[in-house]
Chain A
Amino acid sequence: MNWLIFLIVLCELFAATSQVFYKKVVDQNGSHHPLIYISDYFRFAIGILKHPLAWAGLGFMVFSTIFWLMALSAGDLSLVFPLGSIQYVLVLVGSKLFLKEKIDSMRLLGTVLIATGIVVISIS
């Protein structure tokens, strides 16, 4: 049972890491430019694909998915699904530590409510 929890935590940690990487990519690329012409869309996509962190993020996501499938096939689903909601907490911590985002009490409360709601839905 313990290794299953470890596997899920690792899976969610990898997923959160890839999200932080993705965010770094779009912040550094200035990807918020308006998309008007088709060429803008291509420039947007190519700018992302040229960034090494985007590929690192995709790599983390692939491993996260593999771990998730392993957990699903090996474990009790009523344990695996609720535990998956720790991703929201990990993303919050990652946003604060690595992206310097300001987390006010509304955002914290909202995220905790969402994570709790997911736990409730998946055990019911």
Chain B
Amino acid sequence: MLILNQGGEFSNVRGPLVTDNKKKLTLSLFLLIMLTDFGESLSSFLLKKGVISTEIFPLSAEHIFHFTIVNIGSILIWLGVLTYFFNFFLWMRVLSKLDLSVAVPIGSTSYIMVPLAAFLFLHETVTPLRWIGIFAIILGIYFVSRSKTANDGTKVPEAS
């Protein structure tokens, strides 16, 4: 009961402060954003791998029911959905610490990581035009991370 009261007081006192916080982009937050990017790719991969397509057009209750029945037993689908939800909470954590207009642009790291991984590990060739695109994204992420409210942040209040 005491803990509950403290909890209530806690959020009442600190609630209004939330909008005043200047949000600071730290390395750990940046890595968390990259993790959510990876999680998003992983969940799409699992869903894509697991889905057994059936005829759903024209859209009818019967077709959708059949599609559901065929796919509901798939472990890959469930893993994909689970990954999606876990990732959703990670993303919410990122958003609670950063402006939306900072978090979303920086969340474009998968556009760099996928071609780079293909280049490094699968020895695929990357066309010059693609290198230019990758470079533009890296530069863009750097600019966004240098933008004013992303960086001159005041301290987020610590737990007492």
Contacts and interface: CB of A to CB of B under 8 A. Distances in A.
A14 B160 CA distance: 39
A124 B133 contact: yes
Given A36-B159, A101-B101, A104-B149, A22 B91 contact: yes
B70 interface: no
Contacts, number: 147
Chain A contact surface mostly: helix
Interface in A51-83: 54, 58
Interface of A: 19-20, 22-23, 25-27, 29-36, 44-45, 48, 54, 58, 87-88, 91-92, 94-96, 99, 101-104, 106-107, 109-121, 123-124
A114 B101 contact: no
B96 A32 contact: yes
Contacts of B108: 88, 114, 117-118
B115 A106 contact: no
B142 interface: yes
Nearest to B148: A104
B154 to A, nearest CB: 13
> Residue among A32, A95, A119 with the most chain B CB within 10 A?
A32
Contact of A101 (B14, B99, B130, B134): B99
Contacts of A22: 91-92, 95
Contact of A30 (B18, B88, B137): B18
Given A22-B91, A96-B101, A121 B140 contact: no
B129 A124 contact: yes
Please list the 10 inter-chain residue pairs (A to B) with the smallest Cβ-Cβ separation, ordered nearest first: A110-B143, A113-B140, A117-B136, A120-B133, A110-B144, A114-B140, A107-B147, A121-B133, A117-B137, A124-B129
Contacts of A92: 101
Contacts of B143: 106-107, 109-110, 113
Nearest to A27: B18
B146 interface: yes
A22 B127 CA distance: 37
